[in-house]
Every structure is written in C-alpha cells, then in structure tokens.
Structure 1
Amino acid sequence: MQTFLLTPVKTVTALFLLTIIHFCNGILNIYLNTQEVQKLLGLEAELFYVRQGIVNDYALNFVVPIPSKINSLHFTWESLASKPLPYIIQIDTNDDEALEEPKLNITSSGLIPTYTQVFSLSLQCTGIVSAEVDVTISINITVNPDVTALKLKRKKICTKIESAINSQAVDAVPIRTSSARIFYYAVVCAFVLATTSIMCVAGLYVRRNKQRRTIDETTANQSYSAFLPTAIRNPTTSSSYSSFRRMPSYSLIEDRPSPKGLQERIAELTIQRCRVCLRNVVLEGTFSRVYQGTYSSEGGTEEEVLVKTVTDHASQVQISLLLQEGMSMYALNHPNILSILGVSFEDNSAPFLLYPLHNYSNLKVFLQRCKICSEGVAHTLTTQEVVDMALQVIEAMHYIHKKHILHKDLAARNCVVDNKLKIKIADNALSRDLFPSDYHCLGDNENRPIKWLALESLINKTFSTRSEVWSFGVLLWELTTLAQQPYVEIDPFEMAAYLKDGYRLVQPINCPDELFAVMAYCWAMNPEDRPTFLQLQVCLKEFYMQLTRYV
C-alpha cells in the first residue's frame, strides 16, 4: 500500500554564501609556535589563526583537546602594522566545578605589540570531578574603525583525583582523641611501618629476580620473532607524525581503559610508501582525495585498497583531523565495519590511510547512481533490499555500542557498499570536504551534519545511543529515496525550530507504511521514547520475513 504523508512546510530562504577565508583590515599574526603544536598535537609545525592579516577559518573551526596533564596554553602574536593594535580577551567555560577560573598572564585588555610576544593561559583542574570542559577564548581586535572577532576553542580534559577528595573529607571531620589513644596509635603505626618496610624489601628482591628472568626469556625468544605472523606494519619507517596524539572524534560512552594508545596504533599500522600504488581518483574535494589503489605486502601478494589522503595545500589541522578520525575505528573487527588497514607516512607529503577494497563504493554515491540508467528512469531498490541493508547497519551499530563508542555521524556518506549490497560502516574522515552540502555551520565555527542530528544533539550537542537511532532513521530515509537531501527546503538555522514544532521528513514514494512507521518511531521528540537498536533489529527482521513470504 502506497501512502503519502505531507506536513506543512515553512517557506524559508536558503543562504548558500559561505566564506572560507576572510581578511582582517589590519596586518596581524596570531599563531601557535612549533613547541606548542608539538605539545598539543604532536606535529612539527606552526598553526596560524591569522597570518599576515588573513584569518584561517579552518584552524578556528578545529576544537583542540587539552589533556589533563597540560595545565597551560601559550599563544604567539604580533602587530605587523606601524602601531600596536588594541585587543580585548574574554575566557568562557561551561563547568566551574571541574575547572578553576582560567588566568591570563597578560591583562584582559591592552595593546598587541609590534614585536613577537608569547602569552599564556592557565587551565587548572579542580580534581573534584571528571569532565570535558569547553573553553572558548574570544579575542576582539580593533583596527579603526572595524573590530575583528576571533574565537579559539579548546576542550580541557579534567580527571577526578581521589586523594584530594579524601583529604577534604578528613579535614571536614574534627579529630577528638585522648593522649593515651595517641600513644597507642603511635605504637601501632610504628609496628605497621616496620612490617611494611620488611615487605617492601622482600618484594623488591623478588621483583628483581623476576625481571632478570624476564630479560633472559626475552633475549632467548627474540630469535623466534621473525616467524610470528605480522599485520601490515613497518617499524623502521619513522616521521614526525609518529608522535601524533589526539583524542578520537568518536566519543566514549563511558570511561574505559584503552588497550593501546594512539601512538602505538599508528606505529603498528605504519607501512612503507613504496608498497602503495595509486590508480584512479574515486572521490575528490577541495583539499582531499580518495584513490583506488593497491598494496604489495612483504610476502609479494597484492591487495586492492582504498586510500584516503589530502592535497598539498591542506593545512596541518586538516592533516591531524584526517589522522584522528581515521584511527577512530582501529582494531574494530566486524563484517559490517570498514576498519583501517594501514597508515603510510613520507617526509614532506601527506599521509595515506589505507582501507580494504572489495568492489566497495560510497553508499551515497551508489544510491545517487541508482537514479540514472540507460533508459533515463530511476532504478529503485526493492523494499526487501532496503530492509536487508538497514539490518546490516543495525548489526554494525550494535557492535560499536558494545565497544562503548558513539559514531556521531551515521549517514549514507559514511558507509560503503559492494555489488552484492553488503554494507560496511566507515569513519567520517574527509566527509566534511567530500560532501560539503551535508554539513553546515550555525555561527559557532563548527561544521556539523545538522540535518542528520537528533534534536538534543542539535541544540545541546549531547549524544547518546538514542541520538544515533535518530540518525539511523534519516539513513533509512536516504535508502528509500536514493540519497535525496533531507529537509532540502529548510534553512539549517531553522532546523531546531522546525523539529520542535513537530515536523519531520515526509514519507517517500513507494515506501510502505510499516517501514515509514519505523522511521517516525526513530524521530520521537523524547530520546527515551525512541527504540533501541535491538528493538529495531527485531522489528525489521519480522518485517523482512513478511516480505520474503510474498517473493
């Protein structure tokens, strides 16, 4: 049964004029020097926010994570005009409990000198709670008669310190005891101290013997290491990128110990550039390219691979985003997940990210090509094929959530499909550049997939497994419409109000009522009213069985 559900649509004027780089009226430099970039991102480079009066919006859009062990930031600036430039600095945070009040070593208003000056910002955590604190550094620079406004964003990682809390608790409780009790306490403490010292000495003796045995065993086993099966790696290849450290863009649902750090991951996946051969370009953006190529292993076997990289004019920020987003799905092993296969570095050139390629193509591009055939008539996927592809996505999302990871950008553009309609979910590396019409900035210098986000993610930037269910509903709508643009008539700035008023995507042509009901169920206003991926799996499997009975 075919039905059409039409909802009232507001008439909105779409504004498509986006400026990537704009100019300051005055001549000015504001940047992070090499030492600061190395400390924060592990890269040997300078990061300019303003160079010779040109504002780098890409750098301003990048939210730099600050690890808990780093408590101060350093910025370098200078006025290149003939006189100092007036400035006003304001620091805003969203969590006073986790982070102490930030402190500058310069005044909040003054003059930018005509010589190079480094100023610092202190970010001290309280240690009371664990949190990720958003820090916004607003700098207004006056160049008569104009004012240039810059916003630098940081995310400070604060961890809870148990000893500090315990000491506060002890200080809050008054101690009342007699002199006799103090004497007995002293005797007991002396006895405990003596016993502990003896145990420590014995432990050190045992540990040294154990270490000596371990070293001997390691030396003996080194001769056999050549016969162990290895993944794609090349420990002899090195570059400045090997020290790269960055928090993943995929968010952890809850704190969990990571088996390997990012530096170890890159070291394990690093391969020689000479083993990678690029063939044809599959996708291309302003500063990014996706190639089809081959990788020749040390054993001589050749494997088809998909290679993601950036062009020569890409900035260091774009390179770091490519790495941190590409490494997010490291070591995930599932038939419906496209995990990274290797990373290739070479001096003075962009890194290569390698993925296995088995006749895969981008799902969004594949769906758009389905609209075109020799007769000029769109080839629509059958409902049974759509449901089967949706079930594969559910399997992958359920696996990711079991690993305590949120994708936060589930869409057709971040999936691949082969000629047998087998789906794999991929990371979102380069998606903002390859599919720029799918991302919008709402004046906060952050490109986001506005029309795929749940209402709470759009307004409060909060993500959960239920918000991913909302995005899955939009992905299901993409499958049934052959990758039409969702909410094409709605201005991105009006999306929040549009969703608050209860409006949703319309029912696609030839979409059964049962399938559209699943989509609408995913778009419930209250996150708790949305189904889980397990519930969606049961529902769609039952619908799939009903479809197969009539085939």
Structure 2
Amino acid sequence: MNIYVLKCALLIFFSSATPLCNGLLNIFLNTEEVQKLLGLDAELYYVRQGVINQYALNFVIPVSSKIDSLHFTWQNLGNLPLQYNINLDVQHYEAFDAPNLNISKTGLVPTSDQTFSIHLPCTALISSESDVLISINIALIPTPVALKIRRKKICMKIETGLNTQAVDAVPIRINSVKVFYYAAVCAGILAATSVMCIACVYVRNKQTRTAEEAPTNQSFTSFLPTTIRNPTTSSSYSSFRRMPSYSLIEERPTSKDLQDRIAELTIQRCRVCLQNVILEGTFSRVYHGTYTNEGTVEEEVLVKTVTDHASHVQISLLLQEGMSMYALKHPNILSILGVSFQENSSPFLLYPFHNYTNLKVFLQKCKMCSEGVAHTLTTQEVVDMALQIIEAMNYMHKKQILHKDLAARNCVVDNRLKVQITDNALSRDLFPSDYHCLGDNENRPIKWLALEGLISKTFLTRSDVWSFGVLLWELTTLAQQPYVEIDPFEMSAYLKDGYRLAQPINCPDELFAVMAYCWAMHPEDRPTFVQLQVCLKEFYMQLTRYV
C-alpha cells in the first residue's frame, strides 16, 4: 500500500495522543465556539493536559461567510513558562482584510484560562473558499512542538453598484464650496460674471454626472443577483473536515437548523432497545433494535451510533451526516426516524428497519462461498434495482440535494430486492477500503468520484450520474472493488487518459453502454437521471419479453 495512503488512513481512523515533553498545556475550543461552528454543546480539545489530539488537528472545520472571528482558549497548567509563536497562513489574501490576532504573535502562554481571537474579515470582493493555517509553536525542552490548526473560510462576493460615485461626489462638492468660500474671502470680491460662469459650469457638470450615473444604476439594478443559487456547484465535503457528505444545492443548513432538526426528531433513550450488531467499524456500530413509540407500538429499527472512545468530532460528523436526509419522503430513500440522546453516552440515530441488508454486503454474499450462493441475481433484477436507485436520485435532485457519495455501501436492500438509498454516516469507518486520502486530510471515495470532483472538488448533478455508473458496475460484478489495480494517487491521470472500468463478465452490451455513457469526460456529455430512467426502462421491457 502507498505509504501516503497508509499514513492518511491512520490519521483518519485512529486518534493518536502525543504527550508534550516537560509541559502541561490546554488549547481548545470552548462550548460557545463549537456551538457556533458545529452546532454542538461540547468542547473540542487540541491539547488537553499536555496531550496532543492529532485527530482534532487533522479535522478541517469550515467557517461560514457570516463568521469573521475564530476564538481559541488556552492555559499553561505547569510551573514553567511556555513561550509561544503564532503564524497565520491564508490561501487567498485578496479575500480578506488583513487577518490579525488580538494578542501579540509571540509571548508566554497565560497561566489562567484565557481566550484569544483571530479576525478574518472578508473583503466581499471575491467569492472563495480559502484554507487558513494557524501555526502555534510552543518552545519546549528538548523538542519544540508545532501545532497546525486548519480552517476553511468561506467568503462571498457582494455586488455593488456605482452608487459610490454619488457618495464620493458629496465631499467633492463640499470641498469645492470651501475652496470657493476661502477664495472669495481672500479675493474680497468676485465679479458677477465670474459667479455666473462658475454656476453655469457647476450646473452643466452636475447634469452630465447625473446623466452618466442614470444608465449605470439602471444596468446595476437589472443585473442584481437573484435568489436562485447555482444548482451545479457545491463545495466538497472532506471526510473529517467537514461538512456533510450530502450538500444542499441551495444553501447548507446552519447550526441552528441542525439543532432544530435534531430537537424535532429527539426521542427518549428508554424507548430504544438494542439487540444485535449488524455492522461494526473501528469506532462505529450499526445495530438492529426496537423502538416503542408513544402509542406503545413497538417497531424494528436500525440504530447507528459510535463507541464510547469516539471523539467529539466523530460524534459531530455522525449527527451532521445522519441529518442530511432529514424530511425526505420517498419509498426508495431510507430517511432518519429519530435521534436519541443520553448523558455520558453516544447519540443514537434511528432508521426504519424491514429486514434490510447493506447492499454491498448483500452483493458480496451473492458470490460463491462455502455456504453456497445467498441469491443468484439476474440481469432483470439488476436493472430493476438500478431503476429504483434512479427514482430516488430523481427525487433528491428535485429537492435540490446532491448525494456526492452514491455507492452500494450507501444503499440497503430487503428480501424482495427493494432498494433504498441511505446517508453516508459512518461509511468511512465501516468501509475503509472504499475511501482514500490524497495527502489533503480529506478521506474521499476516490474511485467513485467524477473527474471534476476528483480534480477540483466540484460537484454537479451529473457527478452523481458518474457515481451511479460505478454503482451499476458494482451491481453487475457483485460488489467488486472498482479500479482495484490503480493507485488512488494516479486515478485522475488514469481517467484523463480516457481509461475506464472494463465490461464485467456476463454483462450485456446494452447495460455496459449505459455505464460508459455515465463516465463521459465532460459533465454536459453525461445523461441525466431522467434519460437514464427512460433508457433502462426500455431495456427492462426488452428483458421481460424473453421471460
């Protein structure tokens, strides 16, 4: 395995704690700051009692355009003075008005609990997502410690008209009057003809200026940005940075929205009963259980949760990603049923359960094994399952939601081969071999991503179409790993050169043509889900004629 991939995987899945030498120190985000950034009532420690939380340092927190200041709390807990040095590195300086600290860049870490801030005001001149690197160097003996804290600051461009001309004209006119007044005082007298000439020139200039401003202002009004947002782009979600892997095409939900959603779905823990573990990862588990509603009716549920040793960041991601499909009602979408909290325990996310199996696990069980074959999939069944997924994706896109992680691992299937799309909460931990880090602290589904998502982290509705093509390939190969022989670091070059997944054995040419159609280099050359639905329905009808 590539050493960089191994290193990233270790950073993602294991929270390594490194003790500081000869120094006790706390550096953390207080509850107010975590609430502002992530919508959680918790503290996030980068260093606690002198122990460095490497996992927290690798977590890139997005900062909305409405937040101008970052706050950190720190304290020297030891008897020896700790000298610090803070440096700021911003990717796009043109997007900010001189980032600055409210404390000196060098000094001693305070011995009492104190909060310092970093001011990052946007200029509103350009729209950008800028990486902000906050380097805190602590002079320890014998080895200094360098802490690198990352943020992704979002700035939005604000269009302005030429009204500044009118504003600037006011002081010009005032200064002209003052000059005229002083000149009149100095001269003592001004000929009547001079006054008339000056007045005529002033009036004519004013009329000219007004005539020039009028069409400009009219043009500005006609090109004011509308409330409709571009449905074709959204920022990438980094696995443990991040934001939810799903992305609203219109506007991401704020922390308050997330809180409101959680409050609406909160249920009592005593009504939930866990039975057996269905899937388990390093820090996550999926249970089969029961939920007794207020009408004392018991129903079966899937429960997603994390283990007790999971960090606050992992819990935050569980909630954000789990709530991404909030309020979606479709027979082919598995929407969240409720959220359960209990003090000193990890949250539970509840989903309806009807003998569901993870689609990737189900496909793998369809292969020959010592116990025989769980189910032999026919081409007709594969096409039918694909059509169900298309139905769900059509619905999501109509609701202005991009999936960005469409794959067999993020679907479930029941005994009757009814398929439902799920959120991707915990998928990175449950299926670690499907995600890779390319040295940018973002654990992404590299081999399911469209070229634009892989290279520039741009996601479109037709990026989901590309991923659907890979999912269709998974269905026909019984969940083989795509591009298994290609190093993740070489994927973009491989795709640019025109290489794609090979046609699976026993896959009809018509079905493989649909996959290849989904993998067109340029997004506009790929089909929409509506077109895919028409095409596969016609192929399905052809298959039924021979049965």
Q: TM-score, normalised by structure 2?
A: 0.77
Report what 2:90 is aligned to.
Answer: 92
Deviation at 1:44, TM superposition (A): 3.3
Q: Aligned pair in 2 of structure 1 residues 29, 270: CA closer, same or farther (>3 Å)?
A: same
Quote how far apart the aligned CAs of 1:103 are: 1.9
Q: Letter of the 1:313 partner, please give it.
A: H
1:27-38 matches, cutoff 5 A? 27=23, 28-38=25-35
Aligned residue for 2:523? Answer: 527
State the one-letter code of the partner of 2:343: D
The aligned amino acid for 1:43 is L
Q: Select which of 285, 298, 311 maps to 1:302.
A: 298
Instruction: Report the 3-state secondary structure (helix = DSSP H, G, I; strand = E; otherwise coil) of the residue aligned with 2:313.
Output: helix
- Match for residue 44 of structure 1? 41
Q: Distance in 2 between matches of 1:470 and 1:22?
A: 39
Q: 1:282 aligns with which of 278, 284, 294?
A: 278
Of 368, 388, 412, the residue aligned with 1:392 is 388
- Counterpart selection for 2:468 from 462, 468, 472: 472
Distance in 1 (CA, whole Å) between partners of 2:491 and 2:501 is 12
**Structure 2 partner of 1:453:** 449
Q: 2:313 and 2:448 mapped to 1: Cα distance?
A: 25
Where does residue 267 of structure 1 map in the other structure?
263
Equivalent-residue separation in structure 2 for 1:84 and 1:257 (angstroms) = 40
| Distance change in 2, residues 1:137/1:165 (3 Å) | farther
CA gap of 1:12–1:69, structure 2 versus 1, over 3 A, is closer
Closer, same or farther: CA 456–95 of 1 in aligned 2, 3 Å: farther
1:90–1:139 contact (8 Å) kept in structure 2: no
1:74 and 1:494 map into 2 onto residues whose CA distance is: 39
Distance 1:375 1:67, change over 3 A: closer
Residues 450-529 of structure 1: pairs in structure 2 closer than 5 A: 450-529=446-525
Partner of 1:361: 357
Which amino acid in 2 is paired with 1:37?
Answer: V
2 CA distance for matches of 1:14 and 1:131? Answer: 28
Partner letter of residue 56 of structure 1?
Answer: N
Does structure 2 retain, via aligned residues, the 8 Å contact 1:68–1:158?
yes
Rounded to whole Å, the distance in 1 between the matches of 2:245 and 2:161 is 31
Distance 1:504 1:456 in 2: 15
1:326 matched to 2:287? The reply is no
The one-letter code sitting in structure 2 at the alignment partner of 1:478 is E
2:185 matched to which residue of 1?
none
How far apart, in 1, do the equivalents of 2:425 and 2:93 lie? Answer: 30
TM score, norm. by length of structure 1 = 0.77
Q: Deviations over 1:461-482 (max 9, x none)?
A: 1111111111111111111111
- The 1:395/1:52 distance shift into structure 2, 3 A limit, reads same
1:510 to 1:326, Cα distance in 2 relative to 1, 3 A: same
Letter in 1 for 2:260: E
**What SS does the corresponding residue of 1:277 show, helix, strand or coil?**
strand
- Checking the alignment, whether the CA contact within 8 Å between 2:284 and 2:306 is kept in structure 1 is yes
Distance 1:121 1:147 in 2: 23
1:56-92 CA distance string (max 9 Å, x none): 3432343323344432111134566745355452322
- Which of 122, 125, 129 pairs up with 1:125? 122
Alignment of 1:532-547 (within 5 A): 532-547=528-543
1:344 equivalent in structure 2:
340
**1:12·1:489 contact (CA, 8 Å) conserved in 2?**
no
User: Which residue is equivalent to 2:195?
Assistant: none
Instruction: Quote the residue 2:206 is aligned against.
Output: none
Query: Is the 1:452–1:471 Cα contact (8 Å) retained in structure 2?
Result: yes
Decide whether aligned partners of structure 1 residues 112 and 527 sit closer, same or farther in structure 2, where only a CA change above 3 A counts.
farther
| CA-to-aligned-CA distance 1:427-460 (integer Å, 9 cap, x gap) | 0111111111111221112211111111211121
Q: Which runs of 5+ in 1 are unaligned?
A: 1-10, 182-245
The match for 2:427 among 431, 442, 446 is: 431
**Which region of structure 1 is more displaced relative to structure 2, 32-41 or 74-83?**
74-83
Change (3 A) 1:509 1:496: same
DSSP-derived class of the 1:261 partner:
helix
Match of 2:101 in 1: 104
**How far apart are the structure 2 equivalents of 1:44 and 1:253?**
27
- 2: CA distance, partners of 1:507 / 1:122: 54
CA displacement at 1:146 relative to structure 2: 6.0
8 Å Cα contact 1:251/1:406 also seen in 2: yes
Q: How many residues align?
A: 474
Distance, in Å, in 2 between the alignment partners of 1:499 and 1:262 is 37
Which of 12, 18, 21 is equivalent to 1:23? 18
Superposition deviation, residue 403 in structure 1: 0.8
Partners of 1:256 and 1:48 lie apart in 2 by 26
Describe the shift of the 1:37–1:303 C-alpha distance in structure 2 as closer, same or farther (beyond 3 A). same
- For residues 460 and 141 of structure 1, what CA distance do their matches in structure 2 show? 35
Once residues 403 and 507 of structure 1 are traced to their aligned partners in structure 2, the CA distance between those partners, rounded to angstroms, is 33
* Contact 2:39–2:259 (CA under 8 A) maintained in structure 1: no
Q: Per the alignment, do residues 439 and 139 of structure 1 end up closer, same or farther by CA in structure 2, a change over 3 Å counting? A: farther
Alpha-carbon distance in structure 2 between the residues aligned to 1:372 and 1:399: 35
Checking the alignment, whether the CA contact within 8 Å between 2:135 and 2:149 is kept in structure 1 is: yes
In structure 2, stretches of 5+ residues that fail to align are 175-198, 204-241
Note if contact 1:71-1:124 (Cα within 8 Å) is conserved in structure 2.
yes
Q: Distance in 2 between matches of 1:117 and 1:393?
A: 52
Residue 375 to residue 358, structure 1, CA distance change in 2 (3 Å): closer
Question: Helix, strand or coil for the counterpart of 1:50?
Answer: strand
Listed as ranges, the matches of 1:64-213 within 5 Å are 64-78=61-75, 82=80, 84-85=82-83, 87-94=85-92, 96-97=94-95, 99-108=96-105, 118-127=115-124, 133-139=130-136, 150-158=147-155, 167-168=163-164, 170-171=166-167
Structure 1 pair 548/64, CA: closer, same or farther in 2 (3 Å)? same
Q: Aligned with 1:509: secondary structure?
A: coil
Answer whether contact 1:344 1:352 (CA < 8 A) is retained.
yes
How far the C-alpha of 1:295 sits from its partner, in A, is 1.0
Kindly provide the CA deviation profile for residues 179-199 of structure 1, in whole angstroms up to 9, marking residues without a partner as x.
Answer: 999xxxxxxxxxxxxxxxxxx
TM-aligned CA distance change 1:544 to 1:96, over 3 Å:
farther
**Matched residue type, 1:508:** P
Amino acid in structure 1 at the alignment position of 2:82: P
SS of corresponding position for 1:96: helix
Amino acid paired to 2:267: I
